[in-house]
C-alpha cells in the first residue's frame, strides 16, 4: 500500500503567493499519486495562522473546489513554529507521513519525491538541507550561518542549513507530541526524537511572491529563543565572567592596599570608579539573563495551549458552514452548495 501523505503549509498573510502554491503543490501531489508513490487519500493541509488578509478565504474556497485540499484555521496568530505544529498534529491523524514546507515556495517542492523514496526505504525523518544560499541576501545568509555556529558552540545539535522543510513519519510526529514544552524550537527538538533519519540536499530559491514574515526583530527573537530553550551555556558564561572578575578584583585589592601603604592614595580613584561600573554592569546582565530563564520556567509551568484551532475543514459541522460564506461572491456559494449536496 502506498503511504498517505499530508503536506503541511503554514500561511501567514500569504494571499499573494497562495494561488501559485496551490497550483504547484496540487500538481506535484497528482504526479506523486499517478506514480503510485503516495496514496490517493493524500492531502495538502494549509494552516492559516491568524492572517489578516484573504488567506483563509482563499484556502477555504480552494478546499471546496479540490478534495485534496484541507484547511485549518487557527484562532489567532501564534507564530510559524506553533502553526506548523498544529498542522503536523492535525495531519498525523489521517496520514502515514507528513511533509512540512513554507508557503512561499522557496524550498524545491520536487525534493518531496525524494523524501517519499527515503521514507519508503525506512527513514522516519528526512531533513531537507540547503546546498547554497545564493538567493538569500548577504545579510540573511551571514546571520543565519552565524546562528548555526553559535548554536553549535553552545552544544545544541542542529542539522546545518536545515529549516523546517522535512518529512516525518506518523510515529515521529506522535513522539513529537511527547515534548510538552511551550517554548518551541522545532529544529532543535526533531533531532532529539532520534529514529532512522536521512538528508536530501536542494537549492533554495527566492520567495515567489509577497515578502518575508520574519523581519530582523522576529529573527533575533527566534534565535534567542532557540538558544535559551536548548542551552544553559549563556548562564554558565555569565557565571564564569563573574568568577574571573572576582578573581581580578582580589588581585587589584591587594595591589591597591600595597599602594596605600606605600603612600600613593589618590591613584585609586580611577580604578575604583571603573570597577564599580564594571561590576554593576555585569550584575545587571547576570540578573537579566537569569530572568530570561525564570521567565521561560514561568511560561512552561502554566502549560498554556500552544495553539487553538478555530476551523478544520475536515471536520467542520455542516450546520456551521454558512459562517464561512463570503457574501460578495455568488460563485462561491454555488460551489459550496454543490459540494454540500454531494456530501449529504
Ligand atoms: N509564518 C506563519 N506565522 C507567522 C510567520 C510566518 O505561519 O507568524 C509562515 C509563513 O507564512 C511562511 C513560513 O512561516 O509560510 C516562513 O515564513 P517566511 O517565508 O516569511 O520566512 P523566511 O523564509 O523569510 O525566513
Ligand atoms: Mg520564506
Q: Which atom of ligand 1 is nearest to the CA of 78?
A: 8
Give me ligand 2 centre to Cα 275, in Å: 46
Residue 88 has pLDDT above 80, yes or no: yes
By the 8 A CB rule, do 32 and 69 touch? no
Which residue has a Cα nearest atom 8 of ligand 1?
79
pLDDT, average across residues 303-311: 87
Task: Among 13-27, 228-242, 262-276, name the one with the lowest average pLDDT.
Answer: 262-276
Mean pLDDT, all residues of the chain: 84
- What is the pLDDT at residue 252? 76
Give the 3-state secondary structure of residue 312. Answer: strand
The DSSP symbol for 208 reads S
Residue 334 in this model has a pLDDT that exceeds 60: no
Tell me if 103 CB under 6 Å of ligand 1: yes
In this prediction the pTM is 0.79
Between 178 and 133, the more confident residue is: 178
**Please, which pLDDT band fits residue 342 given cuts at 50, 70 and 90?**
low
For the chain, the domains span 5-214+305-343, 233-302
Report whether pLDDT(339) > 60.
Answer: no
Give the C-alpha separation, 208 to 176, whole Å. Answer: 31
168-182, 228-242, 306-320: range with highest mean pLDDT: 168-182
DSSP-assigned letters across all residues of 139-152:
HHHHHHHHHHHHHH
> What mean pLDDT comes out for the span 35-61?
94
C-alpha 214 – ligand 1 centre gap (Å)? 6
Q: Which ligand is nearest to the CA of 9?
A: 1
Which pLDDT tens digit goes with each residue over 203-225? 888 787 788 887 788 888 888 88
* CATH number for the domain running over 5-214+305-343: 3.90.550.10
Cβ neighbourhood burial of 177 (10 Å; 0-12, 13-18, 19+): exposed
Ligand of minimum distance to the alpha carbon of 59? 1
More confident call, 109 vs 259: 109
Q: Is the C-beta atom of 72 inside 6 A of ligand 1?
A: no
For 176-204, write each residue's pLDDT tens digit: 999 988 878 898 889 989 899 999 999 88
Integer Cα distance of 316 and 331 in angstroms: 21
Neighbouring CB atoms inside 10 A of 187's CB total 21
Amino acid at each position: 500500500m502506498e503511504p498517505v501523505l499530508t503536506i503541511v503549509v503554514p500561511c501567514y498573510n500569504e494571499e499573494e503567493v497562495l494561488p501559485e502554491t496551490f497550483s504547484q503543490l496540487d500538481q506535484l501531489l497528482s504526479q506523486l499519486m499517478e506514480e503510485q508513490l503516495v496514496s490517493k487519500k493524500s492531502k495538502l493541509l494549509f494552516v492559516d495562522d491568524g492572517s489578516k488578509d484573504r488567506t483563509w478565504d482563499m484556502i477555504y474556497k480552494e478546499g471546496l473546489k479540490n478534495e485534496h485540499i484541507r484547511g485549518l484555521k487557527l484562532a489567532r496568530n501564534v507564530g510559524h513554529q506553533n502553526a506548523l505544529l498544529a498542522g503536523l498534529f492535525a495531519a498525523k491523524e489521517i496520514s502515514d507521513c507528513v511533509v512540512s514546507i513554507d508557503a512561499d515556495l522557496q524550498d524545491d517542492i520536487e525534493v518531496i519525491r525524494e523524501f517519499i523514496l527515503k521514507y519508503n526505504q525506512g527513514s522516519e525523518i528526512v531533513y531537507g538541507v540547503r546546498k547554497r544560499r545564493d538567493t538569500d541576501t548577504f545579510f540573511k545568509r551571514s546571520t543565519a550561518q552565524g546562528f548555526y555556529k553559535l548554536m553549535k558552540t553552545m552544544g545544541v545539535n542542529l542539522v546545518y542549513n536545515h529549516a523546517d522543510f522535512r518529512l516525518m513519519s506518523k510515529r515521529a510526529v506522535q513522539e513529537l507530541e511527547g515534548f510538552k514544552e511551550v517554548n518551541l524550537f522545532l529544529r532543535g527538538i526533531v533531532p532529539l526524537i532520534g529514529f532512522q533519519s536521512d538528508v536530501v540536499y536542494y537549492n533554495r530559491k527566492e520567495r515567489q511572491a509577497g515578502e518575508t514574515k520574519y523581519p530582523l526583530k522576529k529573527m533575533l527573537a527566534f534565535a534567542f529563543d532557540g538558544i535559551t530553550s536548548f542551552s544553559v551555556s549563556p548562564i554558565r558564561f555569565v557565571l564564569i565572567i563573574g568568577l574571573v572578575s572576582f578573581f581580578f578584583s582580589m588581585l587589584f585589592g591587594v595591589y591597591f592596599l600595597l599602594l596605600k601603604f606605600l603612600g600613593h592614595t589618590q591613584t585609586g580613584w580611577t580604578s575604583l570608579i571603573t570597577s564599580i561600573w564594571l561590576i554593576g554592569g555585569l550584575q545587571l546582565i547576570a540578573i537579566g539573563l537569569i530572568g530570561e530563564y525564570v521567565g521561560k520556567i514561568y511560561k512552561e509551568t502554566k502549560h498554556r495551549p500552544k495553539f487553538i484551532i478555530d476551523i478544520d475543514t475536515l471536520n467542520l459541522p455542516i450546520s456551521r458552514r454558512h459562517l464561512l460564506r463570503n457574501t460578495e461572491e455568488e460563485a462561491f456559494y454555488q460551489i459550496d452548495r454543490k459540494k454540500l449536496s454531494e456530501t449529504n
